[in-house]
Amino acid sequence: MKIHIVVCDDEASAVKLIKERLCTILDPLIQYTCYEFTDPRHVISMAKDTPIDLLLIDIEMPDIKGLDVVKEVRIYNHQLLVLFITNMDMYVYESFKLQPFRFIRKSHMNELNEALSSAVSIIKNNLDIFNVPINLVTHKEVKIHDIIYFESLHNNVKIVLNGDSFVFRSTLKLIEKQLEGKTFVRIHSGFLVNLKYIYLIRGSAVEISFNDNIISLPLSRNRRNNLISEYKRSLR
């Protein structure tokens, strides 16, 4: 598994420094290709054809701000993890609208070590594959990150993905065991949900958000406390 990382800063010396730290931290953890840019417009062009897993970018740059670059890149890549690296504290709250993974000041580059290690763990999880048994001889590979929830249908299970759904023969109990340690939790005897897509937990329902839609799924009373506990843990 190889991931694509982009470092962008209008100062070549800053790009070099970040790249050196990145290599020191990530070389033992994962295979990756690092692309270095001083012109942020090249990041946008690359994103159209190449999936970027992690973007480390300055905010205040000539011609186009890092914030605007991220807005453009997210059109092509919703799963992109962003680390803003800047001296401009004034942009902290504005950057939150783009849901960055981290905001690191250039005067506190020691924070990059933990940020990169955590980012790699998340990326690895996003790239994990779940094999769906279509029939006795055929399996379909889907990214675990794209699975929104599973629904029990007697002796079959419906899998709902970000953009697709289909039914296959299995049980929620078996799937729950296969996905143990991942971001899934049983909210009802008939539903196993990916915590990443939970929008709201309200009363006896869980609201799921995906593709600009919000749907409501039933929440069992005896599973509510465990769901809240697992949801909080996933946020941490």
**Domains in the chain: ranges and CATH:** 2-126 (3.40.50.2300), 130-235 (2.40.50.1020)
- In the numeric block, which tokens belong to residue 184? 């899934």
- DSSP type of residue 230: H
Return the pLDDT at 188.
Answer: 97
Interior/surface letters 101-133, b for 16+ CB within 10 angstroms, e for the rest: bbbbebeeeeebeebbeebbeebeebeeebebe
Return the pLDDT at 127.
Answer: 72
- In the numeric block, which tokens belong to residue 138? 């055929």
Give dist(CA 201, CA 216) in Å, integer: 10
pLDDT in tens, 127-147: 778 888 877 678 888 888 889
pLDDT (mean) for 74-93 = 82
Whether the per-residue pLDDT at 124 is higher than 80: the answer is no
| Global pTM value | 0.61
